């Protein structure tokens, strides 16, 4: 991986959306992560962590469950990344799907309860 890419910072706007320059790095990071580069994997995960967490919080409704779901989902995605056949643009959708499934699994474990005290 080139030094410039390895040193590039992830930039986000006020809404948390990734900048165009950060998005341009995503295909190279995905390829590097799939090839076993731990730096590329860490940067790829960092690029999506905030958005995936916000989504998990909407689905799970509690901070604790969202954190657990995101941790489990990112771990599962890391293990399965070598088999991921999508493009860099579809990796966010893939991660959201994994987080959603994990949130639903957690909610089922709680009996599907969503009370005002757990929000």
Local confidence pLDDT in tens for the 119 residues of the chain: 444 433 334 444 444 466 787 788 999 999 999 999 999 999 999 999 999 999 999 999 999 999 999 999 999 999 999 899 888 778 999 999 999 999 999 999 987 555 434 44
Candidates 83, 85, 78; CA nearest to 40 is: 78
**Per-residue pLDDT, 12:** 44
Q: What is the pTM of this model?
A: 0.74
> In CATH, which of 1.10.1740.10, 3.40.1310.30, 2.40.30.10, 3.40.30.10 is domain 19-111?
1.10.1740.10
- Orientation of helix 88-109 relative to helix 63-80, angle to 10°: 130
Q: Which two tokens stand for residue 117?
A: 């005290």
């Amino acid at each position: 991986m080139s030094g410039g890419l390895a040193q590039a910072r992830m930039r986000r706007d006020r809404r948390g959306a990734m900048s165009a320059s950060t998005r341009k790095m995503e295909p190279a990071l995905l390829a590097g992560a799939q090839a076993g580069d731990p730096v590329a994997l860490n940067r790829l995960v960092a690029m999506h962590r905030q958005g995936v967490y916000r989504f998990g919080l909407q689905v799970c409704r509690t901070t604790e469950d969202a954190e657990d779901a995101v941790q489990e989902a990112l771990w599962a995605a890391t293990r399965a990344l070598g088999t991921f056949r999508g493009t860099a643009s579809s990796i966010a959708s893939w991660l959201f799907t994994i987080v959603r499934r994990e949130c639903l699994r957690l909610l089922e474990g709680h009996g599907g309860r969503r009370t005002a005290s757990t929000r």
